[in-house]
Structure 1
């Protein structure tokens, strides 16, 4: 992930914190996959595990931030090394927040499970967007591990597909609730799940933007997709 340095210990420190980041990312991926699996059959044991895993993520976030602080204090990194450490810290925050969204999904599933109308709403778009979000997060972490700006730029463009599925589900959900007001409560819970998935996609996009920042030295968070792609590919 990082260039070689004169100090082998500096390289070891960077590799260790990078490894911890990717381990945290793997746990978040697993957490989201479990949440989506629980949505298939309202498995409350899986729901409980998703909620428990979020506590592990909080511990990992604190440990990684402490490691970064120690590296900066000891090594006083500059230029790309400093950008990398800043990006790791920000990526850690986005992973923790993606884990929060998985926990929100699990809690909504627990609320929905006893409802008679739980299976009466077609949630095809939610399932599809969940698969997309998992894929985006995996690709974002892979791009970060390789500092691949091209992969990062493509990922950011693909995030629009999740937004489209979310909008399509909202339109369908409104129709369901207008036709049968008894479905409003369950419908709002499903809406919360769909929104959580959309936010997971946003966090994956943020991680991809940090890749471009590390490599190019440009903060691309508020650029248009076209400007961002030019920066990444230029």
Structure 2
């Protein structure tokens, strides 16, 4: 059954309406914080800003607390309201997406930790151009995925899936280039390994943003598109 935006806004119980709306708002607020964490971690790395990196690490506790609160509220909704159909899909989707947001926060914290190491070493190493580019791409993916969640926008969610494929390609290209550089000049191996870890975290953030977009499609269309090709996704999502 395909859901509409109106389906998520009208229920027999007004209290149910309010509970679901509250959790949805909490989820989007957490998303905003996580997006900021990623942006600040990247800035801390590129600008060798140890203080900003430290603030990202400290804010991770707030992200974790928000995840726990959302999970608790969702469990209460399941226990007290026993949702069905599109409402149940929204609860399930937010629960899964909540985990992905927390993991994005974890990856941002990893980048912040590496940023502090880089600031101690001084000079910005090769690979920062790729880091900036892929970082900007995954930040946009997070923003677009959250916007799709807020608007129940399936087309925008599908665009996030496409963007993730591009990030994966650019990550592989950047990794090969940096591996070649390390072989040609072993003096920079230690620094390049840190850059490779940063790029790996960014690639994982892109994967989690893709997961958020998949949950939007699940909420609206009722289609589980995990591990499904683009052609098959288009067939499942846009032919209905």
Q: TM-score of the superposition, structure 2-length normalised? A: 0.94
- Following superposition, which runs of at least 4 residues in structure 1 exceed 6 angstroms of deviation? none
> Cα distance, 1:51 vs. partner?
0.5
Q: Distance in 1 between matches of 2:46 and 2:77?
A: 44
Verify the 8 A CA contact 1:143 1:152 in the aligned structure 2. yes
After TM superposition, list the pairs within 5 Å mapping 1:85-164 onto structure 2: 85-115=91-121, 118-164=123-169
Root mean square deviation of aligned Cα:
1.2
SS at match of 1:113: helix
| Aligned match of 2:232 | 227
CA contact (8 A) 1:51 1:106 kept: yes
Secondary structure of the residue aligned to 2:120 is coil
Deviation at 1:115, TM superposition (A): 2.1
Q: Distance in 1 between matches of 2:201 and 2:215?
A: 21
- Deviation larger for 118-127 or 193-202: 118-127
Q: Secondary structure at the match of 1:100?
A: helix
**Could you tell me how far 1:114 is from its partner in structure 2?**
2.2
Residue 92 of structure 1: how far off its partner (Å): 0.6
- Deviation of residue 229 (structure 1)? 2.1
Match of 1:4 in 2: 10
User: Aligned match of 2:53 in 39, 47, 54?
Assistant: 47
Q: 1:177 aligns with which of 182, 185, 188?
A: 182
**Conserved? CA contact 2:34–2:101, under 8 Å:** yes
Number of the residue aligned with 1:67: 73
Consecutive unaligned residues of structure 2, counting only runs of 5 or more, are: none
Matched, 1:29 2:35: yes
Which whole-Å CA distance do the structure 2 matches of 1:66 and 1:114 have between them? 40
CA distance in 1, matches of 2:85, 2:98: 20
- Residue 153 of structure 1 contacts residue 232 of structure 1 at CA under 8 Å; is this kept in 2? no
Partner residue of 2:88 out of 82, 86, 92:
82
Bigger mean CA deviation after superposition, 186-195 or 145-154: 145-154
